[in-house]
């Protein structure tokens, strides 16, 4: 398994790395919630091990943002909170499993293997479609109405995040996180990238798919999914 561990306790992190790497698994680490969310939305993992109490962004907020962005990677939350209301809050935020501290590493491994097995058994979308717009996640080729679209890497990443969330809107900060992590560049570079994406996706076509929601963010939606009040 390729696992992302989001945990600020260095001793626990070291124990997890020693145990799982010795058993042939690959681990990446994040010491806070913002970094963990960035890694989870920009890289592919079989599962995420997510602590509840984290600097900068707590575990429930991380998994909620991950689900809002359209990512279905299995998430197992680790926490010392063992009361039923806490467990319910974790599951409602989007977690798939919940393990209270202290715990046995062998149990954590078994739970993760079960989550990954179930996730692999579900059909994963390799082709995203919104109206006549398509993005193949295997080949990274985009097309609209059968016409190939030429996209830069940043535009392709924006398109993937927007299409996975469609028809819901994606807030600006989520898009910036997907592109630059926790250190976005100065100026409104996101607007520039969205402008270039619009030129490729909407420019040659009468029907516009990319919409701006003022003071919220952006979304991609087919005409049937559009709501009154959006502004292009």
Is the bond preceding 110 in cis, omega lying within 30 degrees of 0? no
Percent of the chain with pLDDT over 90: 54
Kindly write down the DSSP assignment for every residue of 60-79, as one continuous string. Answer: HHHHHHHHHTT----EEEEE
CATH topology of domain 127-220: Arc Repressor Mutant, subunit A (1.10.10)
Q: Model pTM?
A: 0.57
Model pLDDT for residues 156-213, shown as the tens digit of each residue: 999 999 998 888 888 888 888 888 877 778 778 999 999 999 999 999 899 999 999 9
Q: Is 122 exposed, middle or buried (0-12, 13-18, 19+ CB in 10 A)?
A: exposed
What residue spans define the domains of the chain? Answer: 2-123, 127-220
* Cα separation, 90 vs 81, whole angstroms: 10
Q: What is the mean pLDDT of the chain?
A: 87
Q: What is the CATH number of domain 2-123?
A: 3.40.50.2300
**In the predicted structure, residue 76 carries a pLDDT above the cut 80:** yes
* Ramachandran class of 130: left when φ > 0, alpha when ψ lies in -120 to 50, beta otherwise: beta
Q: What is the pLDDT of residue 124?
A: 54
Is the bond preceding 167 in cis, omega lying within 30 degrees of 0? yes
């Amino acid at each position: 398994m390729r696992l992302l561990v989001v945990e600020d306790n260095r001793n626990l992190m070291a124990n997890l790395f020693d145990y799982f790497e010795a058993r042939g698994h690959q681990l990446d680490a994040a010491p806070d919630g913002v970094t963990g969310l960035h890694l989870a939305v920009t890289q592919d993992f079989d599962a995420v091990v997510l602590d509840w109490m984290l600097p900068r962004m707590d575990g429930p907020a991380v998994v909620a943002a991950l689900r809002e962005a359209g990512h279905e990677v299995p998430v197992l939350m680790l926490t010392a909170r063992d009361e039923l209301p806490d467990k319910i809050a974790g599951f409602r935020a989007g977690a798939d499993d919940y393990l209270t501290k202290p715990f046995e590493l062998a149990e954590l491994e078994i739970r993760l293997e079960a989550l990954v097995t179930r996730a692999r058994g579900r059909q994963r979308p390799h082709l995203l479609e919104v109206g006549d717009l398509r993005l193949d996640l295997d080949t990274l080729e985009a097309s609209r109405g059968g016409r190939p679209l030429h996209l830069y890497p940043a535009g392709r990443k924006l398109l993937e995040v927007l299409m996975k969330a469609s028809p819901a809107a994606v807030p600006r900060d989520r898009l910036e996180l997907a592109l630059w992590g926790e250190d976005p560049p100065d100026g409104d570079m996101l607007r520039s990238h969205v402008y270039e994406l619009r030129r490729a996706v909407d420019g040659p076509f009468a029907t516009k798919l990319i919409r701006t929601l003022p003071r919220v963010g952006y979304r991609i939606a087919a005409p049937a999914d559009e709501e009154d009040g959006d502004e292009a």
